[in-house]
Structure 1
């Protein structure tokens, strides 16, 4: 690794651009990821001295850090300079699962069943200390790597305390924080203990600039600052909005590779034809089995469609990709099981020898997801609450014949796509049923026109520009 204090652009996030597996012979294999940060760092060019700070997430990652000292092989990272931190596994578990995913995520997505939760007890305070330790490790690594006056972009709810910690270590740096989640309104955010709420807000306000996916989330943040820290408390930090868009060039190229064409053929066979030989309509959803994605209510709305409008029976198939997420948390395992139970129940009640109403897939397969995007007549995106939701933006970009988008008004993407989507209240089963019927009944001409406008809006700020705009705003 290059000597410390040299990087001019730094990114910090819990998950890095690469992860590792360790086989029984002790050999490590790298797997590269994608997303906006990967595209963004690639966009700044090889002449910029950039470094990405991330955490080891599993035993194979930690073994990689032990063997490399944390400086990952550029052959594994696509040429990017990456420093992976070996934070104690128990500290990481408490910070990541105990606080980030079980408290901050729940607050911002408003997921608590408040008669019983949250419970901010001694165990929570112990986990909060781990969250502080985790953030401090990032702040110290950034301080070591950053050159004089460097630009630092800190990512998401895992690292809300790092900006202020880094400010204390390196006041010369230009620090940005970006929130990829929604931001809770003050009355919900104040469920957090007063000192914790103040610490989260104060941590982000340690940045020169705090940015969000939509104006709604940015406004909620400033309202929380006003309510918790007092009027004018956010005045020293600039607030920005950058609505991450879909990467059209990559998606359109990837969606026409041979493996996607193969999966399209397999999906067409699963979908089948109506009794009179016509292709069946398809409703597609692609999600992680994340509590906020509202998969169960989406299935219940589809069930009500089949019950209340029997003319759709045997004429439509719901392709539901529900990829397991956070299965180390019991509430997520229970939710995944409920998704599978409801899908099985619908198939048992309405299915025939020649028609399976719900084709549920739980094994992650990106090529198959793209195939479904291309085939979809209707895309169902109905989260309870979502920072953006890129599926809503990706489907119109790769759709072959035009796709009607049924979109929750609680998705961040709704701010940009509402005009050409079919809007839904994500809690209203009857309303979603009516929206699915409207979308399925939409003529091909209207569907194609809406899809064209949705795709243009969805690609207005592709990942590389999204990243570079933040960098320019921080340097300005």
Structure 2
């Protein structure tokens, strides 16, 4: 299935591409470019690399753009990148994206199921799973068509776990990797999936030459699943065998070996520091300071209202701090940015509402005419987030489970006065930042309240020194280098 064109030497596949489109009432399209590690990575390899990005059309604007362009988008819209956008039928996309990726695989990997009631894998699940298979097959077909002989293909995330195996069947000449941006479930949780589906997911990833993860903990969990579910052989190379994580892991199944790699995505310090001092950020910083009031300390969190981010328990911990330490009344403000996420799913709408209700309750219980204990913003505003990073005295990052959590890495880079980091041990960033963070069990509200008190009470000098070390650890592998490391590991260059 090699395309008539020469084909791309490097390909990236992800659900979301580097550009999105809005369609107005008159039928005009407006393109909006995205950012992130993949965009930086493709830019870093240069225009002569022959790279193509394969992604899905996510909305009506994207679908119309894909149709008008015949799938290959105008490079003026994409920042010069070659992008093939797939117009997958809306019902198939919806079942694959919301029904399986976000409501099953995401829940399994983030340990979100309330097991007395869920999950229920019935006929409805099987119909959605068939759509997930079709969605992955559409990507595999497109990649097979676009790739030059021996090309490198970097498949991204839980939306596309079946693609490496499907693509291997279509194009055995290709070098293929899969990267998981989420945690990987421990084996007992992963086995909640129907046995055949669990095996299919693992075999899909094992279709690649390499499988990448944000932390060694998630790589180890994947290897455990392969060993237990498939009976695969797991080996460790290059280590002395002493202690956790020595050497590189490999999984061998039915004669094929997939190497596991760990690539801990870091913060882009240069971009963040420059962007954080533009005029729009200065304006929002002034507005936040007016809301907070003079002389008060700030506890900052910036999250989507994603169930795994644990915003409700964070607010409960803040309320417990105020109850147990009245000396902070009038002296601290919790600046909480909770940007709505996945509002087409009822459980997310309910969670978002719960966040707003709890913030209101804390303000009603403790607020005074000149002090609002919680400043809650729900409209996504990147400039305002950066402004909050700059003024933060304490950053609260307490997910129940997270692949990495870049907020934990970004705040120390941008903080102006030094920022104490209260960090969940279940965040991927914990592996790199644990020495200078105040660690919490994300389920322990009282423990988190004690950590917030410790962070607020930290001496300025200690806080500044910790922030320097946190920023250094957070920027070891910035986005462009993170992508290039995976590409070089795959190609051996």
* Corresponding residue of 1:328: 344
How far, CA to CA, are the matches of 2:442 and 2:32 in structure 1? 35
How far, CA to CA, are the matches of 1:30 and 1:90 in structure 2? 24
**Quick check: 1:343–1:360 contact (8 Å CA) kept in 2?**
yes
Residue segments in structure 2 that go unaligned for 5+ positions in a row: 235-250
SS at match of 2:434: helix
* Corresponding residue of 1:19: 20
* Corresponding residue of 2:358: 342
SS at match of 1:238: strand
**Quick check: 1:301–1:432 contact (8 Å CA) kept in 2?**
yes
Give the one of 302, 309, 314 matched to 1:286.
302
How far, CA to CA, are the matches of 2:422 and 2:487 in structure 1? 34
How far, CA to CA, are the matches of 1:13 and 1:114 in structure 2? 30
How far, CA to CA, are the matches of 1:154 and 1:140 in structure 2? 13
In the alignment, structure 1 residue 417 sits paired with structure 2 residue 433: yes
How far, CA to CA, are the matches of 2:454 and 2:100 in structure 1? 41
* Corresponding residue of 2:446: 430
* Corresponding residue of 2:240: none
SS at match of 2:49: coil
* Corresponding residue of 2:293: 272
**Aligned in 2, Cα 1:114/1:4: closer, same or farther, shift over 3 Å?**
farther
* Corresponding residue of 2:420: 404
How far, CA to CA, are the matches of 2:308 and 2:77 in structure 1? 33
In the alignment, structure 1 residue 259 sits paired with structure 2 residue 280: yes
How far, CA to CA, are the matches of 1:231 and 1:133 in structure 2? 27
SS at match of 2:443: coil
SS at match of 2:233: coil
How far, CA to CA, are the matches of 2:371 and 2:183 in structure 1? 39
In the alignment, structure 1 residue 359 sits paired with structure 2 residue 370: no
SS at match of 1:207: coil
* Corresponding residue of 1:194: 195
**Quick check: 1:176–1:209 contact (8 Å CA) kept in 2?**
yes
- 1:164-196 CA-to-partner distances (Å, cap 9, x unmatched) read 000000000000000000000000000000000
SS at match of 1:285: strand
Report how far residue 231 of structure 1 moved.
Answer: 3.6
In the alignment, structure 1 residue 249 sits paired with structure 2 residue 250: no
How far, CA to CA, are the matches of 1:5 and 1:143 in structure 2? 12
**Quick check: 1:5–1:144 contact (8 Å CA) kept in 2?**
no
Tell me which moved more, 224-233 or 405-414. Answer: 224-233
SS at match of 1:52: strand
How far, CA to CA, are the matches of 1:295 and 1:179 in structure 2? 24
**Quick check: 1:4–1:146 contact (8 Å CA) kept in 2?**
no
SS at match of 1:322: strand
* Corresponding residue of 1:310: 326
* Corresponding residue of 2:121: 120
What pairs up with 1:14-413 in 2 under 5 angstroms? 14-232=15-233, 234-235=251-252, 236-273=257-294, 279-413=295-429
How far, CA to CA, are the matches of 1:395 and 1:33 in structure 2? 21
Residue segments in structure 1 that go unaligned for 5+ positions in a row: 274-278
Moved over 4 A (4+): none
How far, CA to CA, are the matches of 1:125 and 1:395 in structure 2? 42
SS at match of 1:437: helix
**Quick check: 1:180–1:213 contact (8 Å CA) kept in 2?**
yes
- 1:132-151 CA-to-partner distances (Å, cap 9, x unmatched) read 00000000000000001000
Report how far residue 3 of structure 1 moved.
Answer: 5.4
SS at match of 1:383: coil
Report how far residue 66 of structure 1 moved.
Answer: 1.1
How far, CA to CA, are the matches of 1:444 and 1:83 in structure 2? 51
SS at match of 2:435: helix
SS at match of 1:420: coil
RMSD across aligned C-alpha pairs, in angstroms?
Answer: 0.8
How far, CA to CA, are the matches of 2:33 and 2:305 in structure 1? 22
**Quick check: 1:299–1:343 contact (8 Å CA) kept in 2?**
yes
Report how far residue 4 of structure 1 moved.
Answer: 3.7
**Quick check: 1:53–1:84 contact (8 Å CA) kept in 2?**
yes
* Corresponding residue of 1:276: none
How far, CA to CA, are the matches of 1:3 and 1:94 in structure 2? 32
TM-score (norm 1): 0.98
**Quick check: 1:51–1:83 contact (8 Å CA) kept in 2?**
yes
Report how far residue 46 of structure 1 moved.
Answer: 1.1
In the alignment, structure 1 residue 449 sits paired with structure 2 residue 465: yes
SS at match of 1:172: coil
Report how far residue 459 of structure 1 moved.
Answer: 0.2
Report how far residue 358 of structure 1 moved.
Answer: 0.3
How far, CA to CA, are the matches of 2:211 and 2:356 in structure 1? 39
